[in-house]
Amino acid sequence: MVPDIVTLSVSDGAKETADLAAWLEEEDDLRGLVRREAGTVPEGALGGELQQLVVGLTSGGVATAVASVAVAWLRRRTGSVTVRVSGRDGTELEVSADQVRNMDADQLRAQVAQLVSVAWAGDTQREPGEGADGE
């Protein structure tokens, strides 16, 4: 089975990306599913900076957890930080702290649902727990 994945990248660099990773890793449903990926290593450097997060999606519930944590994290940012969520199929959606900061509960639910649709594209075609290959 090939698991679905979603990648998250943060506009404000490695420190903010690491902070989002910590938030994701604190969520029970996401423990062990979040991987931190470094960018290319500049010449003369010992390692690359944290560039993006990759989350293995084992179910639609995991996609919902990722989306919910990302939106909650953005709501607590003071600047104009942006998170880009990319699904395995190449679909992308950018959400900024400025967008979600003043949303009401219904708008937040709609934003989470939109992020889930990007992360868990095609969920109507398979059962929860099924990977992209249908197994």
Tell me: the pLDDT tens digits for 43-60? 777 767 788 999 998 888
Do the domain assignments include residue 75?
yes
What CATH number corresponds to the domain at position 99?
A: 3.30.70
Do the domain assignments include residue 135?
no
| pTM for the whole structure | 0.81
pLDDT at 135 over 80: no
Residue 50, strand partner residues: 38
* Between 44 and 130, the higher pLDDT residue: 44
Q: Which domain covers residue 59, as residue numbers? A: 4-125
In tens, the pLDDT along 4-48 reads 888 999 998 889 999 999 999 999 999 999 999 987 767 777 767
Do the domain assignments include residue 69?
yes
The pLDDT of residue 125 is: 41
Do the domain assignments include residue 133?
no
Contact in structure between 68 and 114 (CB atoms under 8 Å): no
Number of domains within the chain: 1
The pLDDT of residue 58 is: 84
Please name which of 109, 81, 85, 70 lies closest in space to residue 5, comparing C-alpha atoms.
85
Rounded to the nearest integer, the mean pLDDT of the chain is 83
Please name which of 98, 125, 127 lies closest in space to residue 111, comparing C-alpha atoms.
98
Do the domain assignments include residue 120?
yes
Do the domain assignments include residue 134?
no
Helix (H) and strand (E) counts for the chain?
A: 4, 5
d(CA 71, CA 90): 20
Do the domain assignments include residue 130?
no
The pLDDT of residue 130 is: 44
* Residue 3 banded pLDDT, cuts 50, 70, 90: low
d(CA 102, CA 12): 21
